[in-house]
Structure 1
């Protein structure tokens, strides 16, 4: 159940009215970086925070400590200190679940993926289902979707379900298809597709909304299992220097788990939860109103709305045919009339509308609706977002700035997709693809993120991709679509103060200004000095949230 506004007001009064003696802590001997109110990078050598309130008191040069003679001192040992990183688009429960499933990201062929699944299954004899994620047929020699054949040869006595790396397609064995009742006679659901062979039989691959036909048969996690998965994800994120994350699509059970953990003070980082537009509870949630948590541990004032599918599975909705498959233009997961209604409900209830749109057609549909549904005077206050904004028609890019819609983008999508995007789109459409520089140059604020577990959660991989437009083997030389590179400062800003702006939190976190939460990390080298191709190798040494150390590398 959402907290009422009255309860929030009472809680805020208690928190702000309780007197407490300041207990200053000085972090010295650091090369620190933060931002000012103009989003300019500010270097400093000392940071002071209050150990009682968990908020920054001051930052400055090495002499700052003299103003706090009785302070506790933390010796930074010359390390670099940054604001805690913010992932503006992830899936926390999915990450926690993924940590307990077979990871197929590194599979170089269908056969190797099957071998990994078979080996994993042997370690899980009690499992009712064998679950996994991460396969990407684009990286295999054939570049063809897999089928049930090899899976069935290894595992035919229990169901297997393996999500594609983007989460917009899945691969099943015959046992799983049988349990789901998916046969030659099954009809494709709206916004979904059952891939079939030349005889019309299901191949085992389900796209977008067709995945639901099978996934509803997978036993749901109980509360204890869900909390364990969330806790595993929290620990994983903190070790990567992520002190706050926007959770893109939280259902009723997930939100209940969050609220239970919050009441037990077991959420060690900050969660900006987007309510899932597909949950039956949505209307009641909207009626209850936003949750503005004064501690910023769990803020809920946005809705994740689903537009189209993903590019790799040809589910991204395009204005013209896929270049590598005639007469296919992708899928709308939410049909236009329903999309309009969901966006209208969300906006009218005072919530931020965060709409998934990858293809240029989906992006245009969403922009059209923001133009129609949001008045000029409400645009800046709404801070509505397009999640991904991956392929945008060049004529539509300026509309983001005009409508004050925030692009929420994930840099590693570009370096993961670079070997496939040209085939899917052709050269001309790449001018509006993964166009970070185009957005920044027109004044758009980019909310940076990873889309974990679609991509790895490590934010330094995203910073590296944004700056170099290269993979971790430094390919291609000079970067893919290099005209869209960001500077180190711009990239860091997107994962700190700009991501905070995308959650109405820029006055509370993301830049380490006095009065903000003392959320910060110590890392092993200076991002402004290290060669750009080495950014992804950055190691987090310590993570602090609200002035409390929540991770330390051994």
Structure 2
């Protein structure tokens, strides 16, 4: 036992010493087709990148490497080199969990879901957890029922999250264990879908989800750590060097700080405390957290204002076009939002608020404006996460109130057909309005909202540039006036995310003194036909001048 206690610190010391040597060595990456947006300027092209102590020394032309005769030379053989991509809105542990749970994303029918469930259940004990169903992809777009799941699994609880995480589908065993009956009432901000006889069907929307999920087994710290590693490995393979984690609980907060202190986080993480956590005040009192190497930053709170469009939980000013009399769900009142903002600002934390519907965006903007006048906090780089459906009158308020629109381009191409059914032309006038935000001077922080959407940032870049699906439809793009240029899209996935995290002088571009986070890809992002952008493959991913991922051995070290 004593030997084990001695060995672990020795191994850690050895690893740290090795890592320090790797960081200290000067490296010259050359023969690159390099591009980097500049913090103040256009995109710069280069062929050589010089790295020292994990940071950028200089970028330049072919002859630059001659100035560093003692450096380690790395010939990248003409590969395109970009700054590491930043996903400004994801769910890290959710992604890691999803990689080991039942995945029914893309299923075209209830039968396809239950067939996958049947196979999965054969090798799984206890609760069966999964996600990804989307009734909008089915011929019958009505919500499914517990009875559909019961046909396959009726002896164990089954809980499947909708693709957007704003509704769950549970079997009868789960309802039984949770004590759900016809008399059960949904909490404020939630809905229990019931049949014509008033019986719960097995679908729970937004805050009603907790009626079921509170009975699910809690993840251990080791479970969380394992999910972090699984997610990190996946993100690195996609060229993501930094990600913002939109809402963490206390256990995850503890794991993140522990892993940060050990220096073994797989990617850079900017974590938002969950505003719905009962431990929020405890975490706020501990103060903001930032490690020395910019791998972990905790300085914001994720607040939830409404639901999602797919489950008709997004809060709208006027009726849903396809559900008369229904306006969606506000998860918090304006007063509660103001209280959460005030609580956050007083501790120096910014507030990043989920708002999808136009009513939710208006209420959130009203709440920010009111609290700014009373408490301050306007300079904390507060954000609205998603900002999907905003009235034309409210778009300029983002700029006035210095609110960052944190948006996920792939949502537009995933939602476009559904949005046309759910919303009127008036409601769509300010929907997914990236170019409108950009033109008024707002800085867009782009992300994916993984695992709601796939984490691949090249899907997001493609959606931002085309507003088309992967079959290049609709022709010329959906509501094409809101497309972004290739440069602006890349900036949103790099410097935009960095700025939103107060890190624009540390990451987001390959400029002198910043961390050397970069990727090598198999296509020239700026020159290939637009329909090839989403097919881009990442060859290597580097963080702080250290190679963290390699797809294949195509690079020659000298």
- Name structure 1 gaps, 5 residues minimum: 1-17
Offset of residue 259 of structure 1? 1.8
Aligned partner (choices 148, 157, 160) of residue 158 of structure 2: 160
Of 407, 410, 415, 1:409 maps to 407
Residues 315 and 357, structure 2, Cα contact 8 Å, conserved in 1: yes
Between the aligned partners of 1:26 and 1:466, the Cα distance in structure 2 is: 33
User: What pairs with 1:152-551 in structure 2 (closer than 5 Å)?
Assistant: 152-375=150-373, 381-551=379-549
CA gap 1:378/1:522 in 2 versus in 1, 3 angstroms: farther
Q: Is the 8 A contact 1:391 1:432 kept in 2?
A: yes
3-state DSSP of counterpart to 2:290: coil
Residues 21, 256 of structure 1: CA spacing in aligned structure 2 closer, same or farther, 3 A cutoff?
A: closer
Q: Using the TM superposition, give the Cα deviation of residue 329 of structure 1 relative to its aligned residue in structure 2, in angstroms.
A: 0.5
Cα distance in structure 2, aligned partners of 1:378 and 1:147: 47
Count of matched residue pairs: 534
Asked whether the 8 Å contact 1:39–1:497 carries over to 2, the reply is: no
Alpha-carbon separation, structure 2, partners of 1:220 and 1:19: 40
Distance 1:208 1:140 in 2: 22
8 Å contact from structure 1 (residues 268, 545) kept in 2: no
Structure 2 match to 1:100: 100
The alignment's TM-score, normalised by the length of structure 1, stands at: 0.94
Superposed displacement of residue 265, structure 1: 2.3
2: CA distance, partners of 1:378 / 1:486: 33
Secondary structure of 2:188's partner? coil
Task: Give the 3-state SS of the residue equivalent to 1:220 in structure 2.
Answer: coil
Residue 62 of structure 2: aligned partner: 62
Shift of 1:223: 1.6
Q: What's 1:33 paired with?
A: 35
- Secondary structure at the residue paired with 2:455? coil
8 A Cα contact 2:182 2:198, kept in partner = yes
Deviation at 1:372, TM superposition (A): 1.5
Contact 1:45 1:62 in 2 (8 A): yes
Task: Give the C-alpha shift of residue 230 in structure 1.
Answer: 1.0
The separation in 2 between residues aligned to 1:162 and 1:33, in whole angstroms, is 42
Contact 1:460 1:537 in 2 (8 A): yes
Q: Aligned in 2, Cα 1:545/1:152: closer, same or farther, shift over 3 Å?
A: same
Whether the 8 Å CA contact 1:379–1:403 is kept in 2: the answer is no
Q: Give the whole-Å Cα distance in 1 for the aligned partners of 2:134 and 2:356.
A: 18
The match for 1:135 among 133, 137, 156 is: 133
Quote the residue 2:9 is aligned against: none
The CA deviation string for residues 159-200 of structure 1, in whole angstroms up to 9 with x for no partner, is 100000000001011001111111111011100000000001
The structural deviation recorded for 1:484 is: 0.7
* Distance (Å, rounded) in 2 between the aligned partners of 1:442 and 1:387: 18
Task: Give the whole-Å Cα distance in 2 for the aligned partners of 1:379 and 1:439.
Answer: 21
Q: CA deviation at 1:380?
A: 6.2
- Does 2:50 align with 1:48? yes
The 8 Å contact of residues 372 and 378 in structure 2, kept in 1 or not, is answered as no
Deviation of residue 263 (structure 1)? 2.6
8 A contact 2:247–2:275 mirrored in 1: yes
Partner of 2:143: 145
